Amino acid sequence: MQASRKSTSKVDSRLPKKHIAAATAVAFCLVGVMSLLPSKNVQAKRNVIALDLPADAPALSQAASPAPSTPDKSNNDSAPKTLNWQETTIASGDNLTTAFKRLGLNASDVYRVANTSTERKPLRRLRPGEHIAICLNEEGLLAQVKYTRSTLEHYLYERGESGFTGKKIVLQPDLLPTYKTAIINNSLSLDANRVGLSQAKIMELANIFGWDIDFALDIRNGDAFSVLYDEKFLNGEKVGTGDILAATFSNHGTTYSAVRYIEQDGSINYYTPDGKPMRKAFLRAPLDFTRISSNFSLRRKHPVHKRIKAHRGVDYAAPRGTPVYAAGDGKIIASGYSKANGNYVFIQHGGKYVTKYLHLTKRLTRKGKHVSQGKTIGTVGSTGYATGPHLHYEFLVNGVHRNPRTVKLPDAKTIAKNQRGEFYAQTTPLLNQLSQHDGLLLAQADLHD
């Protein structure tokens, strides 16, 4: 039922045509070993990997050697060579020096590789969980360094006559469109998980529709979604997922549709099928919905005043310390403390809108500062008149309190007129695919009636 969409693959970029050898003619490293298999004989703190080079493997080196006495074995030696890659996993706090030290390299190796003529920046930002593998040449000198960021992306640094040069290698996976749909009976997380959506994809879905739907408070049983996205495969193995391509979400009987559009500058945004941006000038809920612990009743007795207090905002109960975001771009017009509000922040958005955030544990901004949408301005707490940690959020239009959950939010920038043709060309096939799946499902449902 799913059409396979193959992307152009350039897997062979793993095997460079030109190989610049170091001082010796034969480097004992083969570039682009797909996965470095840890040997059973793991030495202290390092993995020694030994791989047999197939007899028909490309010649390792033809480069002129400054040591003419070294015999050139690359053309006539058909005996299997042993590849000695050693690999280490980046831990928290690691840098090139500590990683190289574990691999038995010294400070001058670090210096040489860190001063590579190309792609030196990535080596300064090693992240935990990534891998660095090294390979020595016949003389025991560092010949190659492979820095692996993900299954699809790595950097290769090779010793040349005038120092190391680096290059970025990105493998192109095959893409297979995948369709998922669910009706919500328990919670978005549970039901989406049940049909095979990862937590990250659920967040992606919520981020697309979160401008119209309050995922913190407004998801009901019977709500439903359908989503189309790519799964990525490399050599038949699933290596990840791509962006959501198109999706629908039905909330309280209203169905919202969204489709991905790649803008001219390469950035990705989601639009309604007729070209209105999903993104609004304001977040519907100014905090991470996954951290909401319970719904507050909106007409409750005020715990401190013991009377029904006119409630002019929304309360989001969430663990103390949950980040609170600026709902939209604006300027901080107040950041302070009062007995009732506790720590509070007010933001002015243009001439018309003000948003207010109360009972914060911490304020992470100050008066006069400009903030952009999504910027953390404080954390959830229970300062002021509050019995438990929650965010009290108010939304004012021309000085009048409006319900933040239902107020019509102004749109962010609409797609330009001269881009409409391109927009429909890109998005119509995606929406058609989604509705074909949805339609198929409806047809099946009819058959069972």
Q: Which residue is nearest to Zn ion (CB)?
A: 392
CA-CA-CA-CA dihedral for 233, 442, 248, 230, to nearest 10: 10
Phi, psi of 376 (to 5 degrees): -75, 120
Residue 249, classified by CB atoms within 10 Å of its CB into exposed (0-12), middle (13-18) or buried (19+), is buried
Is 315 one of the binding residues for Zn ion (CB under 5 A)? yes
Residue 204 vs 315, nearer CB to Zn ion: 315
Residue span binding Zn ion (CB under 5 A) among the ranges 89-97, 237-245, 314-322, 327-335: 314-322
Instruction: Please report whether residue 394 would count as binding Zn ion according to CB under 5 A.
Output: no
Residue 392 in contact with Zn ion, rule: CB under 5 A: yes
Tell me the number of residues near Zn ion by CB under 5 A: 2
Which range in 64-72, 245-253, 269-277, 390-398 contacts Zn ion by CB under 5 A? 390-398
**Dist. CA 164–CA 142, nearest whole Å:** 10
Span near Zn ion by CB under 5 A; candidates 167-175, 234-242, 311-319, 334-342: 311-319
The DSSP 8-state label assigned to residue 279 in this structure reads: -
Long-range own/partner contacts, residues 101-107 (CB < 8 A, 24 or more apart): 102/45, 102/46, 103/46, 103/132, 103/134, 104/46, 105/134, 105/142
Nearest to 62 by CA among 72, 70, 54, 76: 72
In the complex, the smallest distance separating the C-beta of residue 311 from Zn ion, rounded to whole angstroms, is 6
- The pattern of x and - marking residues 184 through 223 that bind Zn ion according to CB under 5 A reads ----------------------------------------
Q: Does 356 bind Zn ion (CB under 5 A)?
A: no
Minimum CB–partner distance for residue 385 and Zn ion (Å): 9
Of 191 and 315, the one with the shorter C-beta distance to Zn ion is: 315
Stretch that binds Zn ion, among 214-222, 315-323, 349-357, 419-427 (CB under 5 A): 315-323
Pairing of strands 390-397, 400-402: antiparallel
Written as six digits, the tokens of 410 are 């102004």
**Cα–Cα dist 239/170, whole Å:** 13
CA distance 158 to 146: 9
* 279 interacts with Zn ion by CB under 5 A: no
Closer Cβ to Zn ion, 400 or 445, answer by number: 400
Contacting positions for Zn ion (CB under 5 A): 315, 392
